[in-house]
Structure 1
């Protein structure tokens, strides 16, 4: 009884708290098809979300959309011009979505690699990553509603190499005159719970990533967090009702210690009671630590997910998925 009363009081307090600055969804589709003959057939093997589909999320109080795409499609040859057709597809989505009043976080969904070769190798030097971001920043720097997410979930490279690449990309972006917000992931799939890990991905993010700085102080660290056993988000079950806040606490303390801020760039859970409590606990933790947390993005939405257990796309009749009800107290109240 006491536990139920405490949960009710906490939910009421959450509902009264101001939502975080950024609340949104990761939309997939344009990054798909990487295992097929590349670059693939547009409209069949990969597709950008429709601008009109963002109205659903905006109506429910979301204000940020993260859109995934592939570096190799946008820049078929390193250090060369961006592909005009792919850039036009990306621009159509970005321009249309930002015209609605939403912000868009660009997400090269590449895991710090180009055609499966890691950044920092002779084949994909750090300079090539910086060049890509210079070109992309030039395309979107005049749109204040566009944010630059450096890359999705780096892994399988030294953390020191990734930090060097991230800094080079930031420097290249700022050299264009762009003032857009930049999000910077850590190594090892950028898990909040593994920020201090040093056994399986090399030097811990906690030891290395603080060296990355933005001269304009317009950057957020981007971490991802799921609540299944291995933190991968591949299973619908969550470890416990308390796991949501538990997996974020140590990283939150690191942010405060280093006077940094972050975006929870991916969060999700299966449609069951334990995951509901875990997700609510995580978002309550973010709101209670709004001095270091700027917002969150649910994984995922987009046109091609079907019955994927984490998809937030409405069903065929336009009805909300159960998880949307969980998120309602953490979204804007004036929708």
Structure 2
């Protein structure tokens, strides 16, 4: 087995000579999910500025995962979306489009609404489907807009989550929205735990029950490099485990004829962590027949320089992770138009 240290020294074209990398290479531009749901724009939360968007576009990135709060966009379950918040999201999408970047809409709620788990009244499966029916109708058939059903469901049984996900699919497709949809699993949708048992069964078994009449979806997984895979520590003792998780997900997706996207992953600026980052990106590149792409966590105008995983530049100083991300982002890739409808 190739070690992390050895993999980090390989060039980006170390795979087959004619192999292109994954379609999407990008960044989480965080800030829209900050604060409590009733917070004020530019005081408690903010969406990315055009300066920040332009910086990551210049680094070769072609997609942004955009976190926001479900409660802020839909203050009352089953009722209309908030016009002002929806317009802020639409304006941000327009900025991405101006810079020729796709976007993943990411309700960053952990399968909860005001701390009530999806599938539990009043945050019923029907309420979750209603939310996605309303949101998808606003962005229906905009090929550069991808629907990420939910950020990191946790403490919810996998079969219960599958039921909610399938209800959202029905709502989205019922309004004629054929956009690519990203489906997470439970247990924080960890790649390393994808095939591990848990309440409701393993993600790797249960989530194969996704029902999409358009067959235009992929699975979103997250993977961090620290000891507990949480991304909350600046060490990367889990480098080898992270790479193995990517290889394992590749094998699972290939076996089951589906696609995956790495929605969150990140490391500190420590040299060994930078090496681990490159090894994971190499593994995705070498398995790009099943990987749609990746979005690194994290950046955004309000992220402090003290955050170890942050790659937002500060006062003209770039983070050390960005060189590896830029090299991966600028590697050869397929045509993006073909990527937006290749979920399965």
Confirm or deny a common fold (TM above 0.5). yes
Unaligned 5+ segments in structure 1 are: none
Deviation at 1:288, TM superposition (A): 1.0
Residue in 1 that maps onto 2:77: 78
CA contact (8 A) 1:19 1:331 kept: no
1:224-235 mapped onto 2 (5 Å cutoff): 224-235=222-233
The 5 A counterparts of 1:83-232 are 83-199=82-198, 201-232=199-230
The alpha-carbon deviation at position 314 of structure 1 amounts to: 1.1
Question: Which residue is equivalent to 1:29?
Answer: 31
* Equivalent residue runs for 1:278-317 within 5 Å: 278-307=276-305, 308-317=307-316
Report the CA distance shift for 1:51/1:328 in structure 2 as closer, same or farther (over 3 A): closer
- Within 2, Cα distance between the matches of 1:260 and 1:4? 27
Q: Which residue of 2 aligns with 1:18?
A: 20
Return the alpha-carbon distance in structure 2 between the equivalents of residues 4 and 75 of structure 1.
44
Q: What's 2:335 paired with?
A: none
Q: Is the 8 A contact 2:21 2:288 kept in 1?
A: no
Aligned match for 1:322, one of 320, 323, 339: 320
- Kindly state the Cα deviation for residue 250 of structure 1 after the two structures are TM-superposed: 2.1
With over 3 angstroms needed to count, the CA separation of the structure-2 counterparts of 1:291 and 1:88, relative to structure 1, is same
Shift of residue 70 of structure 1?
A: 0.3
Cα drift, residue 124 of structure 1: 1.1
1:118 and 1:7, CA in 2 relative to 1: closer, same or farther beyond 3 A? Answer: closer
Task: Rate the CA distance shift 1:315–1:126 in 2: closer, same or farther, 3 A.
Answer: same
CA contact (8 A) 1:244 1:279 kept: no
1:55 alignment counterpart: 54
> Structure 2 length as normaliser, TM-score?
0.90
Q: Deviations over 1:128-172 (max 9, x none)?
A: 100100100111114221110001000111111100111111111
- State how far apart, in whole Å, the 2-side matches of 1:8 and 1:69 are: 34
Q: Whole-Å Cα distance in 2 between the matches of residues 97 and 30 of structure 1?
A: 15
| Structure 1 residue 118: Cα displacement | 0.5
* Kept in 2: contact 1:31–1:109 (CA 8 A): yes
How many residues are treated as equivalent by the alignment? 328
| Structure 2 partner of 1:269 | 267
Distance across 1 between alignment mates of 2:295 and 2:321: 13
Q: Distance in 1 between matches of 2:86 and 2:265?
A: 28
**RMSD across aligned C-alpha pairs, in angstroms?**
2.1
Compare 183-192 and 211-220 and name the one that shifted more: 211-220
Partner of 2:126, secondary structure, is helix
SS at match of 1:248: helix
Q: Distance in 2 between matches of 1:153 and 1:4?
A: 27
CA distance in 1, matches of 2:293, 2:165: 21
Task: After superposing the two structures, state which structure 1 stretch, 208-217 or 75-84, moved more.
Answer: 208-217
Distance 1:208 1:3, change over 3 A: closer
Quickly say closer, same or farther: Cα 1:255–1:333, change in 2 above 3 A: closer
Q: Distance in 2 between matches of 1:52 and 1:216?
A: 36
Partner SS, residue 304 of structure 1:
coil
Moved more, 325-334 or 273-282: 325-334
Q: Distance in 1 between matches of 2:6 and 2:232?
A: 31
CA contact (8 A) 2:71 2:113 kept: yes
The question of whether the paired residues in 1 share the 8 Å contact of 2:4 and 2:279 is answered with: no
Is residue 243–residue 278 contact of structure 1 (8 Å, CA) maintained in 2?
A: no
Contact in 2 for aligned 1:70/1:110 (Cα 8 Å):
yes
Once the 2 structures are TM-superposed, how far is the Cα of residue 241 of structure 1 from its aligned partner? Answer: 4.7
CA contact (8 A) 2:243 2:283 kept: yes
TM superposition shift of 1:5: 10
